[in-house]
Amino acid sequence: MQIAQNSVVAFHYTLTNDEGEVLDSSEGREPLTYLHGAGNIIPGLEKELEGRENGEKLQVAVSPEEGYGETQPSLVQEVPRESFQGVESIEPGMQFQAQTQGGPLMVTVTKVEGDTVVVDGNHPLAGQKLNFDVEIAEVREATPEEAEHGHVHGEGGHQH
């Protein structure tokens, strides 16, 4: 069966940056399972998996535009230390959920200077080309319930 709209796909992957550094991998874990066409994975990878079959291996390079987007300088902001009430120690790399006009946003602390904390609301992989080594482990048709809900149920997927 070929990967198409409403296919349930399970695949193993290794994600590297352009320097060859491994950023993420399913090695030693269950394959990643998603519902094709439901926007459950980044667009560039989903597009490259379209029409592929069980057992296929491929390498995919995904541009920032087709991945986590370009870095948006407006998402990097200086925040007063007092905004972090109840947090004793703030260090670079810590993540917090910020309440914005557009809803909740995960931010990462990038710098702490005295009473000022610099946070970045960009996805950590924004602005990067992403290189995937993929092996498709399974392709099946989605159940009507999975297609309606927009995600995989059961083994490797979402449990209700």
Q: What is the CATH number of the domain that holds 95?
A: 2.40.10.330
Percent of the chain predicted with pLDDT > 90: 89
Same domain flag for 45 and 58: yes
Same structural domain for residues 91 and 45?
Answer: no
- The pTM for the full model equals 0.82
Sheet order of strands, 103-113 included: 76-80, 116-120, 103-113, 95-100
**Phi/psi class of residue 150: alpha, beta or left (left: φ > 0; alpha: ψ in -120 to 50)?**
left
Say yes or no: 55 and 14 in one domain.
yes
Residues 94, 129, single domain; the answer is no
Q: How many domains does the chain have?
A: 2
Q: Is residue 111 domain-shared with residue 132, that is, in the same domain?
A: no
Question: In terms of residue numbers, what domain contains 85?
Answer: 73-120
pLDDT of residue 100: 85
Q: Are 8 and 157 in contact (CB under 8 A)?
A: yes
Q: Is residue 158 part of a domain?
A: no
Give 40-91 pLDDT, tens digit per residue.
Answer: 999 999 999 999 999 999 999 999 999 999 999 999 999 999 999 889 899 9
More confident residue, 157 or 71: 71
